[in-house]
Chains A and B, each alone.
Chain A
Amino acid sequence: MAAVAPEDRRAVRAAAERRRSRRGLAIAAVSTVVVVGGLAALLVTSPGWSSVKDTFFDPEAFKTSFPAVLKGFWLDVKIFVTVEIAVLILGLVVALVRTTGAPALFPLRAMAVVFTDVFRGVPTILVVYLVGFGVPALEISGLPTDPIVLGGIGLTLSYTAYVTEVYRAGIDSVHPSQRQAALAVGLTGGQALRFVVLPQAVRRVLPPLLNDFISLQKDVALVAILGPQEAFRVAQIDASSTFNYTPLLAAAALYLCVTIPLARVLDHMQRRSR
Chain B
Amino acid sequence: MTASPVIEVRGVTKAFGEVPVLRGIDLVVPEHGAVALIGASGSGKSTLLRCIDLLEPIDDGDVLLDGEVVTDPSVEPVAVRRRLGMVFQAFNLFPHLTAVENVALAPMRAQGVGREEARARAAELLARFGLAGREGERPDNLSGGQQQRVAIARALATRPRALLLDEITSALDPELVGEVLEVVRDLKAQGTTMLVTTHEMGFARDVADEVCFLHEGRIIERGAPAAVLDTPEQPETQRFLRRLLAARRAL
Contact = CB atoms under 8 A, between A and B. Distances in A.
A64 to B, nearest CB: 53
A195 B95 CA distance: 12
> Which applies to chain A's interface (DSSP): helix, strand, loop or mixed?
helix
A43 interface: no
A195 B105 contact: yes
Interface string A174-209: 000110111111111001000110011001000000
Range of interface residues on chain A?
A: 10 to 19
Nearest to A175: B92
Contacts, number: 61
A195 B109 contact: yes
B82 interface: yes
Interface in B16-71: 53, 55
A188 B76 CA distance: 10
A188 B82 CA distance: 10
Contact of B53 (A184, A187, A191, A203): A184
Contact of A186 (B78, B93, B95): B78
A185 B151 CA distance: 10
Given A186-B82, A191-B110, A199-B96, A181 B88 contact: yes
Contacts of A191: 109-110
A63 to B, nearest CB: 51
B71 to A, nearest CB: 16
B121 interface: no
A184 B92 CA distance: 11
Given A177-B92, A199-B96, A183 B111 contact: no
Interface of A: 177-178, 180-188, 191, 195-196, 199-200, 203
27 contacts: A180-B92, A181-B92, A183-B55, A184-B53, A184-B55, A184-B81, A184-B84, A184-B86, A184-B88, A185-B82, A185-B106, A185-B155, A186-B78, A186-B81, A186-B82, A186-B110, A186-B158, A187-B78, A188-B110, A191-B109, A191-B110, A195-B105, A196-B94, A199-B96, A200-B95, A200-B96, A203-B96
